[in-house]
Structure 1
Amino acid sequence: MGVIGIFLSLFLLMYFAYKGVSVIILTPLLALLALLFSGSIDILPVYTQTYMSSLANFVGTYFPIFLLGAIFGKVMDKSGAAKSIANVIARKLGKEKAILAVVLSCAVLTYGGVSLFVVAFAVYPIAVSLFKEAGIPKRLIPGAIALGSFTFTMTAMPGTPQVQNAIPMPYFGTTTWAAPILGISASLVMLVLGCYWLMYRAKKGIAAGEGFGEHEEIKIDEEVKLKLPNFILSLTPILLMLVLNYILSNYVFIEGFMNWEWLDQYKTTIAASGGTWSLIVALIVAIVVAMLSNLKVMKNNLHVINEGATDSLFAILNTAAAVGYGNVIATLGSFTVIKNALLGISSNPLIAEGISISCLSGVTGSATGGMSISLQALGDNLLQLATSSGISPEVLHRVATVACGGLDSLPHNGAVITLLAVCGLSHKKSYFDIFMVSVAIPTVALVVTIILGSMGIV
């Protein structure tokens, strides 16, 4: 009955999330439902001591990254820097390479730390202009934005500051630059196959005489029409953040740079915290530089900072709620059956990790939620198995990030729903292409990553 309760709660979580019910409400209720099926009636202590403690621990660990990432994205958005970067890339590539222009515009922004929601709003008007001029069906715009935002720059590219690349660090003692060869390989699989698919679909639509199509365009903010800031100035904070993050995580916050024994009083080690500290410092510097380089454009920096801070709260609470749910499930005696089944799928821990994270990301409709639940329940076991098999923790890190970015983009995913709303299109018209570039192809990339990682490639 306990196992049935777990699967029932997971199904209901997926169903009601698709219906639009907040996971902040869903997760404690469904976690307690699974608890009742396991035969326990300790509802209140489990809620306050297990669910809420796990939620609070996640917030305590990752809130700085959510907060600074949201503020940086808001500064890049309100200053016009994000639109400036996207405009220049689109103009250089032109209508002949409209799909590649949209994908690369999104990729540069998300790899630079701008949130995918900001990217969707910034790039959409440019995509409409390019696709209309090239006669490419509008229904492919969500797929192009998804490919550039939801896939390789979110999960695979070494050094990406997106939170999905930060979550495995405390579990495996790694940094955002973990397993660079694996990350680049997975990125190329997603980028090349994704672009090939979208170009094939565009060519097919144009040949059928479909064209851009008749659409009632969504009103675009007036700021799009304003003079955009200089491209180099706009790109500087992104480049600075990436370089600084690399230097700090590989040469400063590491064993041997100085004596870190004094960290014992804070119950941490430089291996566990160094990656997070590197990202925090890099994002702070990037935010300051972005604001200083756009003083003439941004007249109310405090308002922008406050807006970004407010946005970060909703984002982290959604993810932390999923983590709280996962921790309750992990404490149930019946979960041991599922846990052993996952770990027993293969003698290769990378396969167990990839399958568990992919499945839970799909159920929760969240890359961060699915990965956090899996690593909280299986992280220690996976690390032990990997160590005994001679597999580097860096490989575990990269497999985890690539795995979370596949099945998460099922129809009930919040980013997918938001993207379709921004583009004014329905699941029926555009989801198939989103599925191909952000679910099917990333799953292929995961298989490639596991194979290469099993061969000892890092």
Structure 2
Amino acid sequence: MGLAGILAGLALLVWLAYRGWSVLLLAPAAALIAAAFAGEPLLAHWTQTFMGSAGRFVAQFFPIFLLGALFGKLMEDSGSVTAIAEYLTEKLGAERAVLAVVLAGAIVTYGGVSLFVAYFVLAPMATALFRQADIPRRLMPAAIIVGSSTFTMSALPGTPAIPNTIPMPFFGTTPFAAPGLGIMASAIMLGIGLWWLGRAEAVARARGEGFGDDRGPAADAAAGDPVVRERAVTANGFDPAEIQRSTPAPDRPNIVAAAAPLVVVVVVNLLMSFVILPRVDAGFLAEPRWGGTTLSAVAGVWAVATALAAAIVTLLAFSAWRLPSLRATMDAGANAAVLPIFSVASLVGFGSVVAAMPAFDAVRDWVLGIGGGPLVSLAVATNVLAALTGSASGGLTIALEALGPTFMAIAAEKSLDPGLLHRIAVIGAGTLDILPHNGAIITLLAVCGCTHRESYGDIVVVGIGGSMVALIAVILVGGLVGSF
């Protein structure tokens, strides 16, 4: 009965979340169903297990969610994201429209701009470019996915994307975990994505297929759609409802002012991870007043939070005077972080209750018994849970909350670098999460004015296919030579 309860709770969570119900309600309800089937005390699991775990997640990651959403909103309202996109468009031209969209997405997301902020800026840019180049509209979502939701989310070393930060407290790693393997995986994802898009464009031209009908702007409708919002907030750290709740600057900054904050994110993140924090005497963290923790458990979060804070200060120095209402922009950015972090934290709470069930031992044994060793087991666990929840962040947190200590014990026993576990977990979570019910996919299609029928096939190839090949390559190479 216990295993049936786990499956019933998960099924309820997945089914109703896809229909647009709030995860804030679904996750505790699903957890209580799992506990009820097992005959476990319901209120104790709700207030102690569920809320305790959700609270710890908020305590660990709220600085990153808050600063990331605030930075994304400032970059959007200041016109910096648009300025970077326009600069690339001017330099590459309409004849390289696909490459311009991919590079624009990669630059802004690797620089710390929230995925959904990037979507709402890149979609109008892609529409104009693809119309001018007469490339089918249906290829726009796949081009944006390649640049913003593949290698810069899960593989490129140092990316401040939320999924890349989640394993850090579990494995004691930094955002630059397994950098060589991450660069290799990034090259694979980018290469497959550009190859497929180039092929698809050539086939479309040979058939005489042009841009197609002009359906008008879709971004405003997507931002205000409550179903899109509920599905989106578990997939990224920005609430789409806040997109329209401030006034953007009337003009664009120059390219130096626009790009400077992105450079600061990368440089400060690197310095904090490898130069500053390793030299800090953090023995005081072992004291009870600081939670009895270690520097390795918090260094990654400290590095990313400091990098985002430095970037915000840089952006304000360049562009604060240009914003019509700085307070409205900052309020919207701060508010945009709240629903996403509590939604993901609720999924973490659900995972903790499931892991506390006696029947979960059977699930753990099944995962660890998968052929291929612990690296394959970890990849399967994160893939399956990300696929079921439709969220890389949600699936990854559930998997690590339930199985993270087990995999760390295996790593110590087999002398595996935790950085290798980090990179495989993140790439795995960013592979099968791109299923039709994924909130990011639904949001992107709505913003681009496309349907699943038109665009999802290309998304599967560049998103799932490219990431799966990269994941297999990292497992094979990492298993043979270790992390590098």
Which TM-score band (shorter chain)? over 0.9
TM-score, normalized by length of structure 2?
0.91
Shift in Å, 1:224: 8.8
Provide the C-alpha distance between the structure 1 equivalents of 2:12 and 2:445, rounded to a whole number of angstroms: 24
Contact 2:23–2:347 (8 Å) recurs in 1:
yes
Q: Deviations over 1:40-76 (max 9, x none)?
A: 3x22111111111111111011000000000000000
Aligned 1:84-123 pairs, distance under 5 A: 84-123=83-122
| 2:286 paired residue among 264, 273, 292 | 264
Provide the C-alpha distance between the structure 2 equivalents of 1:347 and 1:123, rounded to a whole number of angstroms: 40
TM-score, normalized by length of structure 1?
0.96
User: What amino acid sits opposite 1:128 in the alignment?
Assistant: T
1:196 aligns with 2:220: no
Aligned 1:145-294 pairs, distance under 5 A: 145-218=144-217, 226-254=250-278, 257-265=279-287, 266=290, 267-294=292-319
User: What amino acid sits opposite 1:394 in the alignment?
Assistant: G
Shift in Å, 1:457: 3.7
Shift in Å, 1:131: 0.8
1:435 aligns with 2:447: no
Provide the C-alpha distance between the structure 1 equivalents of 2:120 and 2:359, rounded to a whole number of angstroms: 44
Q: CA RMSD in A?
A: 1.7
Contact 2:78–2:248 (8 Å) recurs in 1:
no
Equivalent position of 1:82 in the other structure: 81
| 1:335 paired residue among 348, 360, 365 | 360
Equivalent position of 1:420 in the other structure: 445
Provide the C-alpha distance between the structure 2 equivalents of 1:220 and 1:251, rounded to a whole number of angstroms: 42
Contact 1:365–1:413 (8 Å) recurs in 2:
yes
Provide the C-alpha distance between the structure 2 equivalents of 1:453 and 1:88, rounded to a whole number of angstroms: 38
Q: Deviations over 1:90-131 (max 9, x none)?
A: 221112211111011001000000011100111111111111
Provide the C-alpha distance between the structure 1 equivalents of 2:346 and 2:207, rounded to a whole number of angstroms: 46
Contact 1:112–1:161 (8 Å) recurs in 2:
yes
What is the total number of aligned residue pairs between the two structures? 455
User: What amino acid sits opposite 1:24 in the alignment?
Assistant: L
Shift in Å, 1:4: 2.3
Partner SS, residue 209 of structure 1: coil
Equivalent position of 2:398 in the other structure: 373
Segment drifting more, 238-247 vs 16-25: 16-25
Segment drifting more, 332-341 vs 299-308: 299-308
* Change beyond 3 A, Cα 1:280–1:204: same
Contact 1:244–1:282 (8 Å) recurs in 2:
yes
Q: Percent identity?
A: 43
Q: Which segments of 5 or more consecutive residues in structure 2 lack a partner in the other structure?
A: 221-243
User: What amino acid sits opposite 2:49 in the alignment?
Assistant: T
Contact 2:77–2:249 (8 Å) recurs in 1:
no
Shift in Å, 1:225: 10
Equivalent position of 2:11 in the other structure: 11
Equivalent position of 1:54 in the other structure: 53
Partner SS, residue 197 of structure 1: helix
Contact 1:291–1:301 (8 Å) recurs in 2:
no
Q: Deviations over 1:198-218 (max 9, x none)?
A: 221122122111210012211
User: What amino acid sits opposite 1:159 in the alignment?
Assistant: G
1:319 aligns with 2:371: no
Provide the C-alpha distance between the structure 1 equivalents of 2:345 and 2:249, rounded to a whole number of angstroms: 38
User: What amino acid sits opposite 2:45 in the alignment?
Assistant: V
The runs of 4+ residues in structure 1 deviating greater than 4 Å are 219-226
User: What amino acid sits opposite 1:25 in the alignment?
Assistant: L
Partner SS, residue 320 of structure 2: coil
